[in-house]
Amino acid sequence: MTDSLPHSSRCGTPSPIKLLIVDDHPIVRRSLISLLTAYGPRFQVVAQAHNAQEALEQALLNPPDVVLTDLQMKPTSGIELIARLSQRQPLIRFVVFTASTQEEHMLQAFDAGAAGYVVKESEEGEIVKAIEAVMNGSTHYPAGLRRALDRRQQQPVLTARETEVLALIGRGLTSKEIARELGIDFRTVDTHRANIKQRFGLESSAALLRFALKGGAVE
């Protein structure tokens, strides 16, 4: 059973999937809007944004079912947008649409809360498949990510950002101090702390500090 039932109207006709498109390139946003509206009433683009801050504002004004976002935006990345928006509006699903095929970026998107990941070189139908998959409570990821997740389950590893956060924890910095040091939101730091603790089975902040002081070595 999927969770698509609440997304149907009383007369039995499926309600359109409401989308927020986030990308700092206008031509990409226009292309996505054109592509998705060509599918008729099944998709409704309720808002678009050129950066994360505008996306946060638009999500409050025009709540979407799915956010389709790029990763590499300034000053706030798509990863941080996902982490922050999922805290504010936890029912929203996220699909990353990016040029990056780096394993690290895919893992970061997964950790932040994205249920779908589509690279921009994919066939246009992949975007539709990803949106429908996440609306049905499933995931849509490249095969490379699944292999990366399998490897991480066998032997937990830190992402580059988590390594930075862990090093600063070892120096005794608070989440707010780490956020200022790295130029990110402190809530994103808290998300990284929680991910590290969960992945390595660390049950307390004290255990996380000991782990950081050992340079990420498992006891």
Q: The whole model's pTM is what?
A: 0.67
Residue with tokens 């990366």: 148
Phi and psi dihedrals of 173, rounded to 5?
-80, 150
Residues 202, 171 share a domain = yes
pLDDT value at 62 more than 70? yes
At residue 107, the 3 state secondary structure works out as: helix
The CATH number of residue 132's host domain is 3.40.50.2300
| Residue 4 predicted with pLDDT over 90 | no
- Asked if residue 197 and residue 120 are part of one domain, the reply reads no
pLDDT at 154 over 90: no
> Is 24 in the same domain as 118?
yes
pLDDT category at 2 given cuts 50, 70, 90 is very low
Instruction: Look up the CATH number of the domain holding residue 188.
Output: 1.10.10.10
201 φ/ψ angles, rounded to the nearest 5 degrees:
65, 35
Give the domain-ending residue among 110, 135, 151: 151
Per-residue pLDDT of 63-97, as tens digits, reads 999 999 999 898 889 999 999 999 899 999 999 99
**Cis, peptide link before residue 6, omega less than 30° from 0:** no
31-61 pLDDT tens trace: 999 999 998 899 999 999 999 999 999 999 9
Query: From residue 55, how far is each of 82, 141, 150, 154, 178 by CA, in Å?
Result: 10, 23, 32, 36, 24
Residues 129 and 37 in one domain: yes
- Report in angstroms the alpha-carbon separations of 208 from 43, 103, 169, 219: 44, 25, 8, 11
Mean pLDDT, residues 162-174: 93
